[in-house]
Copies of this chain bind each other. A is one copy, B any other.
Amino acid sequence: MKSIAIDMDEVIADISPRFLELYHRDFNTPLDIQLKPGQEIYEVMPPEAQDKWVEYIHAPGFFKDLPVMPDSQRVVQALQQQYEVYIVSAATEFRNSLIDKLDWLNLHFPFISWQHIVFCGKKIVNTDIIIDDRTKNFVDFKGRKILYSAPHNLLIKDIERVHNWQEVADKLL
């Protein structure tokens, strides 16, 4: 059985609305900001707010209430029938994210067992496939790399890409 490593933030967990909500609260920025291809969310915030994301992301609870990406639960559960599915998230940078992320997974993806959860820094996993929104996580990866589209990565070319979970299903199921 082949194995897949699936990222969390911006792949199964939608992190942008949470950032927008916090920037809106603190700087009265609009809640419907559209990022241009290649842009990170902090880059479109007012100068005095650009470093604020570090504080937000470190706060307890930030990762706890993130919305689930559309169709991700259904498709991940279907993938489990054909693949050994791991959730692999860069989490050790953010101390308070660890429990939030575990609780979030247990709530929204209860069919993922603790054996199949990896919280790490560098993604040194040996799965056959990786689905991630950051190409830095592909650097030392030997298997098939699938980039999950997010505004910040839309300028990257010559890479296998999916725009949503239905496309993951079309490719892998």
Contacts and interface: CB of A to CB of B under 8 A. Distances in A.
Interface of A: 3, 5, 86, 91-93, 95-96, 98-99, 102-103, 113-122, 124-127, 140, 142
A120 B121 contact: no
- Ordered nearest first, which 7 A-B pairs have the shortest CB separation? A115-B121, A126-B126, A98-B98, A92-B114, A118-B120, A92-B117, A119-B119
A92 to B, nearest CB: 4
A127 B122 CA distance: 12
A98 B102 contact: yes
Contacts of A127: 124
A110 to B, nearest CB: 14
